[in-house]
Amino acid sequence: MSAKKSSKRKTSKTVSPGKIAAKASANSADGEFERASKAADFIFSQTSLRPRIALVLGSGLGAFADEFAGATKIPYAKIPHFPQSTAIGHAGKLVIGKVGAIPVAGMQGRVHLYEGYSAKEVAFPIRVFARMGVKAVILTNAAGGIKREFSQGRLVVISDHINLQGVNPLTGANDDRFGLRFHDMTAAYDKRFREMTVGEANRLGIGMYEGVYAGLLGPSYETPAEIRYLRTIGADLVGMSTVPEVIAARHSGIRVLGISCVTNAAAGVLDQPLNHLEVLETAERVKGQFIGLLKAVIPRIAEAIA
Ligand code: HPA
């Protein structure tokens, strides 16, 4: 007899907390696949393009999507179940268009855990991409530089991450239609994509580094003691995004490229306080270089996933 049937026959009204949690998570996991499918269907009803590459454009980088040719712009508010961005510098539109001959989907801004969204909500757009048949996602973000060489304005390819956000988008019942219950994260950031990106950066004369990204919850910036701790455990960069999206992407079999723009030296690295304006200003200053790199990398990724 199924657990559902046996619980129906119970006369007692007391339900153990464990049972409520299991039921709630099973429902939400069931619903996530259908919700993502509905969002994907809606997006496909707005454009005839079928992108296999998606980009998440972080702070200040959204402008890249304004350059897509033949673009359809869809406000997140119109896409069924899509979370709404509240952060400054995040426009909140999905842009489907072409970079050269390659169809791409670009998110102008993302949502973050610190806005109060759950890890599943933050990762939802990635689930939608999975349902759209996207095979590669380029995640960009602003980050604080922990390693001293990672000075303001540097672009860094993410080689790995440390999840210190205390949450994971895959908790609760697993939906096998997305991926395995326990999926591998040993090569979360695609080695070939990383090599291509460093190669293209060299060709463009952009000094490019690789580093480990520590994902924290935010929204407060870190203390100098926290940054010393992060350096000790092997982090080179620190930020408040990306990790839930990477976990969901790998769960769904999507290959990942992560690139950080170092918008500031992390707390305590220099003898000066941090502020969000500086983060936005640096992202704006580096935007041209960042976009140039993305334009060079997209055709290489398209070849790699062909
Ligand atoms: N810490 C966390 N997140 C960030 C930072 C930082 O220093 N800079 C940009 N995003």
> What is the rounded CA–CA span in Å between residue 32 and residue 268?
41
Q: Which of 85-89, 95-99, 179-183 has the lowest mean pLDDT?
A: 85-89
Catalytic residue among 85, 141, 260, 264: 264
> pTM value?
0.89
* Catalytic residue list contains 114: yes
Give 5's pLDDT tier (boundaries 50, 70, 90).
very low
Task: Answer for the pair 192, 245: CB distance below 8 angstroms, yes or no.
Answer: no
∠ Cα 105 33 5 (to 5°): 175
Give 83's pLDDT tier (boundaries 50, 70, 90).
very high
Statement: residue 173 has pLDDT above 50: yes
- C-alpha distances (whole Å) from 194 to each of 75, 149, 187, 188, 257 are 31, 19, 11, 11, 7
Q: Is the CB of 209 under 6 A from ligand 1?
A: no
* Catalytic residue list contains 161: no
> What is the rounded CA–CA span in Å between residue 182 and residue 184?
7
**Domains recognised in the chain with CATH numbers:** 20-305 (3.40.50.1580)
Give 279's pLDDT tier (boundaries 50, 70, 90).
confident
Catalytic residue among 241, 260, 265, 267: 241
What is the rounded average pLDDT for all residues in the chain? 89
Query: How many Å lie between the centroid of ligand 1 and the Cα of residue 214?
Result: 10
> What is the rounded CA–CA span in Å between residue 263 and residue 89?
14
Q: Is the CB of 140 under 6 A from ligand 1?
A: no
Give 22's pLDDT tier (boundaries 50, 70, 90).
very low
Query: How many Å lie between the centroid of ligand 1 and the Cα of residue 288?
Result: 21
Q: Is the CB of 60 under 6 A from ligand 1?
A: no
Beta bridge partners of 256: 137
Give 105's pLDDT tier (boundaries 50, 70, 90).
very high
Percent of the chain with pLDDT over 90: 79
Q: Is the CB of 237 under 6 A from ligand 1?
A: no
User: Could you tell me which of 221, 258, 212, 299 has the C-alpha nearest to residue 110?
Assistant: 258
* Catalytic residue list contains 117: no
pLDDT of residue 16: 36
pLDDT of residue 87: 64
* Catalytic residue list contains 81: no
∠ Cα 56 134 178 (to 5°): 100
> What is the rounded CA–CA span in Å between residue 12 and residue 14?
6
Q: Is the CB of 150 under 6 A from ligand 1?
A: no
Query: How many Å lie between the centroid of ligand 1 and the Cα of residue 240?
Result: 7
**What does the pLDDT average to over 273-300?**
92
**What does the pLDDT average to over 124-145?**
97
Q: Which residue has the higher pLDDT, 4 or 234?
A: 234
Query: What pLDDT digit, counting tens, does each position of 205-230 carry?
Result: 999 999 999 999 999 999 999 999 99
The packing angle between helices 191-204 and 276-305, to 10°, is 110
In b/e form, how buried is each residue of 52-78, taking b as 16+ CB within 10 angstroms?
bbbbbbbbbbbebbeebeebbbbebee
Query: How many Å lie between the centroid of ligand 1 and the Cα of residue 130?
Result: 28
Task: Answer for the pair 49, 91: CB distance below 8 angstroms, yes or no.
Answer: no
Q: Which of 110, 154, 220, 240 to mutate to test the pocket of ligand 1 (most atoms within 8 A of CB)?
A: 240
**What does the pLDDT average to over 3-31?**
40
> What is the rounded CA–CA span in Å between residue 12 and residue 133?
47
Query: What pLDDT digit, counting tens, does each position of 31-51 carry?
Result: 999 999 999 999 999 999 999
* Catalytic residue list contains 276: yes
* Catalytic residue list contains 90: yes
Query: What pLDDT digit, counting tens, does each position of 158-167 carry?
Result: 999 999 999 9
